[in-house]
Chain A
Amino acid sequence: DAGITQSPRHKVTETGTPVTLRCHQTENHRYMYWYRQDPGHGLRLIHYSYGVKDTDKGEVSDGYSVSRSKTEDFLLTLESATSSQTSVYFCAISAAGPNTEAFFGQGTRLTVV
């Protein structure tokens, strides 16, 4: 498996609280992505990064922000968690963009109560 570590792996949080998920890679890949996976929806892109401090929105970015201050770390923040953000979150990396193989992390299961 590619060197991708997501933390935490599981989290339960209360509505209205901020939450930060971390993705750490050891592959020195340029591109990093955050997806959410929900039953009946497959994988949907939240935000992605194409370099340090270079990020852009995906198809479901509302309520989320990201930061990438180092090549190896990509943080996803839920500013004020809502129950609709209960999901499994996957980080992915790729060497040269969406037209190349993506490697996924193990996922973070987030429950907002």
Chain B
Amino acid sequence: GQQVMQIPQYQHVQEGEDFTTYCNSSTTLSNIQWYKQRPGGHPVFLIQLVKSGEVKKQKRLTFQFGEAKKNSSLHITATQTTDVGTYFCAGLYGGSQGNLIFGKGTKLSVKP
């Protein structure tokens, strides 16, 4: 079935270190979305990637969509304590009326 694998499940970093989370699908995605959920909060949309090989940046965050549209990554440069939370990818299968499947998330903790 449709499944988005996300790794790692947990990541502990020292403030100032970089962080990367990866998502993989066995089949081609229509697009991929990324969300952040702060502890005790709700998921908040970060970005959507649609094109093969697409790269988007938001300040210290860099998002990539693979050439085959089967994988994606989120990289945070020089983490800060405000980056703490769980990062989810969500892959869309089947186009605009298809199924959006969430990965299980990567929980990031940042030690000051």
Residues of B in contact, count (CB < 8 Å) = 25
Q: Which residue of chain B has the shortest Cβ distance to A39 in the bound complex?
A: B104
- Segment 38-84 of B: residues with Cβ below 8 Å from A: 41-45, 48
Q: Which residue of chain B has the shortest Cβ distance to A100 in the bound complex?
A: B48
B42 touches A105 (CB 8 A): yes
Known contacts A90-B43, A104-B42; A98 and B96 CB within 8 A of each other: yes
B108 on the interface (CB 8 Å rule)? no
Known contacts A101-B33, A104-B44, A105-B42; A42 and B92 CB within 8 A of each other: no
* In the bound complex, CA of A43 to CA of B44 (Å): 13
A99 touches B43 (CB 8 A): no
B42 touches A106 (CB 8 A): yes
Q: Which residue of chain A has the shortest Cβ distance to B4 in the bound complex?
A: A42
B102 touches A104 (CB 8 A): no
Residues of A in contact, count (CB < 8 Å) = 22
Q: Which residue of chain A has the shortest Cβ distance to B40 in the bound complex?
A: A107
Known contacts A98-B98, A99-B92, A99-B95; A42 and B104 CB within 8 A of each other: yes
Residues in chain A near residue B99, CB distance under 8 A: 45, 59, 98
B45 touches A44 (CB 8 A): no
B92 touches A44 (CB 8 A): no
Name the contact of A103 in the complex, choosing from B6, B45, B88 (C-beta under 8 A): B45
- Segment 1-57 of B: residues with Cβ below 8 Å from A: 6, 30-31, 33, 35, 41-45, 48
Known contacts A41-B104, A42-B102; A97 and B43 CB within 8 A of each other: no
A19 on the interface (CB 8 Å rule)? no
Chain A residues within CB distance 8 Å of chain B: 35, 40-45, 59, 90, 92, 96-107
- Write 27 A-B pairs (CB below 8 A) sorted by A numbering: A40-B104, A42-B103, A42-B104, A43-B43, A43-B90, A45-B100, A59-B101, A90-B42, A98-B92, A98-B96, A98-B97, A98-B98, A98-B99, A98-B100, A99-B31, A99-B48, A99-B96, A99-B98, A101-B33, A101-B48, A102-B33, A102-B35, A102-B45, A102-B100, A104-B42, A104-B43, A107-B42
